Every structure is written in structure tokens, then in C-alpha cells.
Amino acid sequence: MRESLFETLVGALVVAVAGVFLWFAIARGGEASAGPDRYDLKARFNNISGIERGADVRIAGVKAGVVKTIEGDPKRFEAVLTMSLDKKWQLPDDTDARISTDGLLGGAYVALEPGGSFDNIPQDGSGEVQYTRGSVDLLTLFASFAAGGGNGGGDGAADASSSESNAGDDAYPLDGDQ
């Protein structure tokens, strides 16, 4: 009886500690990166499948920040991401943002590709990335290849007739045929 009481107390302690860690992780999610050496940057996407609060924001593969909030814009039917970036990243105002993944089954992140402009996005929290590309839905992509046969949607008849018409054409001899 005494051993089972001890095991029950240890189990309850383990569950309580796990609960505290879970509460901390949920409460501090994407906000853990707020601070004086960071700034907010917004971007609008048509599709952000796979992106969650706390996802990485990378520049040239290097983590530069995290996704802080995700909201929907009911007027423009777009997803609005607010990202928290390190102030050391001075981004040009023609920066491109896209949703990317780590491999076929990897997690999604926001990839920022700086442009060549001499003007920078303001770091006062009012900045917004103007050029964005949403995520690609792999199931839709595979379905389009399956439906089109992988040849761009054509039936192949035009390709076959053009190759047949050039089959007997000796107007361009090879080096050894001269």
C-alpha cells in the first residue's frame, strides 16, 4: 500500500510539471521573441497552409525571426502574418516573402528574399512586405499532373506530327555527313 501511494504521488508530480511546461509553451508561443532588439513586419498571402504561430522566418536559410500573429483580412480575402524580426536585418523595400517547407514532409516557414532596392522597410512596426508568394498545395499539384498526364495538358498529337515531319529532313547534316 505504501509503495502504490508513493508511485501515485510521483506520477501526479510528473503530470503537474508537464502541465506547467505546456502552459508556458502555449502562453509564450510566438511572443517569446518580443524585445527591444526586434521589430514587427507584416506580409499578406493568398495561402499560408502549414504556417502556424511561432514558425521560423528565414533569410538565406538563417533564422531571422518568428511568425508572431496570423489574422485573416475579410475585405481582401488574404491571410496577414505579423513577423517579429531581429533589428540587425535591414530589408530592402522590394523584399519577397514566400511560404516554403523543409523537404517533402518538413515543417513550413516564411522565407524572405531581399531585393536590390536602396530604400529599406521601416523598422518601426509599420513595415509591410509588398511581394509575397503563398504555399503550394502538393495534393493539388500532383492531381494536376495526373489529370494532364504531365505533358502540359496537351494531347500529344501535335508533338508527334511535328517530330514525324522532321524525321526525314536532311537539311542539317551531322559533322561526319559533310
Residue 102 domain-assigned? yes
Residue-wise pLDDT for 56-97, tens only, equals 999 998 999 999 999 999 999 999 999 999 989 889 989 999
Domain count, the chain: 2
pLDDT number for residue 127? 86
Residues 53 and 27 in one domain: no
- Asked whether the beta carbons of 92 and 4 are under 8 A apart, the reply is no
Dihedral over alpha carbons 142, 54, 95, 41 (to 10 degrees): 140
Residue 105 domain-assigned? yes
pLDDT number for residue 67? 93
Residues 12 and 67 in one domain: no
Residues 27 and 53 in one domain: no
Residues 41 and 76 in one domain: yes
Residues 85 and 116 in one domain: yes
Residue-wise pLDDT for 127-173, tens only, equals 888 888 887 767 777 788 888 765 555 554 444 444 444 444 444 45
pLDDT number for residue 168? 46
Residues 10 and 63 in one domain: no
Residue-wise pLDDT for 3-34, tens only, equals 788 889 889 999 999 998 888 777 665 444 55
Residues 1 and 28 in one domain: yes
Nearest to 100 by CA among 144, 72, 60: 60
pLDDT number for residue 152? 53
Residues 45 and 132 in one domain: yes
pLDDT number for residue 142? 78
H-only helix segments in 94-175: 138-148, 157-165
Residue 149 domain-assigned? no
Residue 63 domain-assigned? yes
Residues 84 and 40 in one domain: yes
Q: Which domain holds residue 83?
A: 34-136
3-state secondary structure of 145: helix
Q: How many CA atoms lie within 13 A of 106 on its CB side?
A: 10
Residue 132 domain-assigned? yes
Residues 25 and 38 in one domain: no
3-state secondary structure of 99: strand
Residues 19 and 73 in one domain: no
User: Would the pLDDT of 176 be above 70?
Assistant: no
Residue 155 domain-assigned? no
Residue 99 domain-assigned? yes
Q: pLDDT > 90: what percent of the chain?
A: 31
3-state secondary structure of 46: coil
Residues 18 and 48 in one domain: no
